Amino acid sequence: MKNSIDFIVNDGTAVLAAQDSILVDLKSDSDIGGEEKELEDQGNFIEIEHENKKYSEYEQLKKNGIIVKLGEKVKTEQIIGYTGSTGWIAH
Going by C-beta distance under 8 Å and a sequence separation of 6 or more, which residues neighbour residue 46?
A: 15, 23, 25, 26, 57, 58, 61, 66, 68, 80, 81
Domain residue limits at 23? 14-88
Q: Is the pLDDT of residue 1 over 60?
A: no
For residue 84, the model assigns a pLDDT of: 95
Asked if residue 8 belongs to a domain, the reply is no
- Band (pLDDT 50/70/90 cuts) for residue 7 is confident
Distance CA 86, CA 39 (A): 8
Largest CA distance in the chain: 35
Asked if residue 65 belongs to a domain, the reply is yes
Asked if residue 35 belongs to a domain, the reply is yes
Q: Is the pLDDT of residue 79 over 80?
A: yes
Going by C-beta distance under 8 Å and a sequence separation of 6 or more, which residues neighbour residue 63?
A: 28, 29, 30, 31, 44, 84, 86
pLDDT digits (tens, 9 = 90+) for 21-53: 999 999 999 999 999 999 999 999 999 999 899
